A and B are shown apart, each in its own frame.
Chain A
C-alpha cells in the first residue's frame, strides 16, 4: 500500500474532534431544553379550536333556522316576515286593519279630546 500522500494542517484532527463533540453535545442540550415538540402540542390545540369554531357556526346556523322566542311585541313584529304568513293570515291581516279603523268613531274621539 502506498504512503498516504494526503496531509492535513497541524492539529486538524484534534481541533475538529473538539468541534464535532461540541456540536453533538450542544444539540443534545438544546433538544433536552426544548418543550414538547410544537407539532405534538399543535394537533390537540387545533382540534379544540376547530371544535369550538364548529360549535359557533352551528349555533349561528341553528339560530337562523329556528324562530326567535320574542318577549316583546316589537320583536314579534320584526321577526315576522310577511312572506312567512300563510294566505289566511295575510287575508286576516287586511281585515284587521279595516276593523281597526271601523272601531274608531271619530266623533267620539273628538268628544274625548274636548
Chain B
C-alpha cells in the first residue's frame, strides 16, 4: 500500500522536521520518500510537466506551513497526498477541460517529456478527459493503489461516493480505449 512509503515513524519524522537543529536533514529525508511519488501523481492528474512541477513545489511548501497542526489522525503520506490532490483538483477546475480524447492524445504526443506507447498514450489521454475529482479518484486507486479510506480523505468524498466515482470513471475510460484500437 502506497501510504507505507515513508519508512520511518511519522511522529519521529515530524518532530525532527519541527526541530530547528534537525529540520533540514529530516525534510530532505521526507522528500526522499515523497517527492517523486507526489510529482508523478500530479503529473498524471495535470497531464504536463510544468503544471505538475509547480503543484509539487507548492504542495511541499504548504505541507511544511501546516505541519505543526498535523494531528496524526492519518498517515503522513496520506496527508501529503491529500494536499497534493486538492491542489491538482483546484488547477484542473480552473483550466479549460479537454473536449475530446483526441485533443488529450494530441497534447501528450506533442509533449517531449511523454514517452508512452500507443496503449499508454490512450490510457493517459482518456484519464485527462475525466472531471477533476473523478480523475483524482481513478489515479489514486488505479496507479497509487490507495485504500478507499485514504482516498476519501484525499478527495473529501465519502467512501460510498468514491466507489461510485471509480466505477463511473472506469466505465467512461473503457469504451475510449476500445474505440481507439
A23 interface residue, CB < 8 Å from B?
A: yes
| Chain A 8-38 per-residue mask, 1 if CB under 8 angstroms from chain B, else 0 | 1100110011011101110110000000000
Quick one: which of A6, A21, A28 contacts B113, CB cutoff 8 A?
Answer: A6
Contact B57 A16 (CB under 8 A): yes
B8 interface residue, CB < 8 Å from A?
A: no
What is the CA–CA distance of A18 and B19 in the complex, to the nearest angstrom? 19
Interface size class of B (residues with CB under 8 A): 20 to 34
- 10 A-B residue pairs with Cβ-Cβ distance under 8 Å, sorted by A, are A4-B40, A6-B43, A8-B49, A9-B49, A13-B35, A16-B39, A16-B57, A17-B28, A17-B35, A24-B61
B60 interface residue, CB < 8 Å from A?
A: yes
Interface size class of A (residues with CB under 8 A): 20 to 34
Q: Which residues of A contact B (CB under 8 A)?
A: 2-9, 12-13, 16-17, 19-21, 23-25, 27-28
Q: Which residues of B contact A (CB under 8 A)?
A: 20, 23-24, 27-28, 31, 35-36, 39-40, 43-44, 49, 53, 56-57, 60-61, 64-65, 113-117, 119-121, 123-124
A6 / chain B contacts, CB cutoff of 8 Å: 40, 43-44, 49, 113-115
B117 / chain A contacts, CB cutoff of 8 Å: 5
What is the CA–CA distance of A28 and B120 in the complex, to the nearest angstrom? 42
Taking the closest CB of chain A, its distance from the CB of B118, in whole angstroms, is 11
Contact B31 A21 (CB under 8 A): yes
Contact A25 B24 (CB under 8 A): yes
Contact A5 B120 (CB under 8 A): yes
B65 (CB) vs chain A CBs: closest residue: A27
What is the CA–CA distance of A2 and B61 in the complex, to the nearest angstrom? 30
What is the CA–CA distance of A19 and B60 in the complex, to the nearest angstrom? 11
Taking the closest CB of chain A, its distance from the CB of B31, in whole angstroms, is 5
Taking the closest CB of chain A, its distance from the CB of B107, in whole angstroms, is 13
B119 / chain A contacts, CB cutoff of 8 Å: 2
A12 / chain B contacts, CB cutoff of 8 Å: 53
B49 / chain A contacts, CB cutoff of 8 Å: 6, 8-9
Contact A7 B31 (CB under 8 A): no
What is the CA–CA distance of A91 and B123 in the complex, to the nearest angstrom? 108
What is the CA–CA distance of A13 and B53 in the complex, to the nearest angstrom? 9
B121 / chain A contacts, CB cutoff of 8 Å: 5
What is the CA–CA distance of A91 and B20 in the complex, to the nearest angstrom? 87
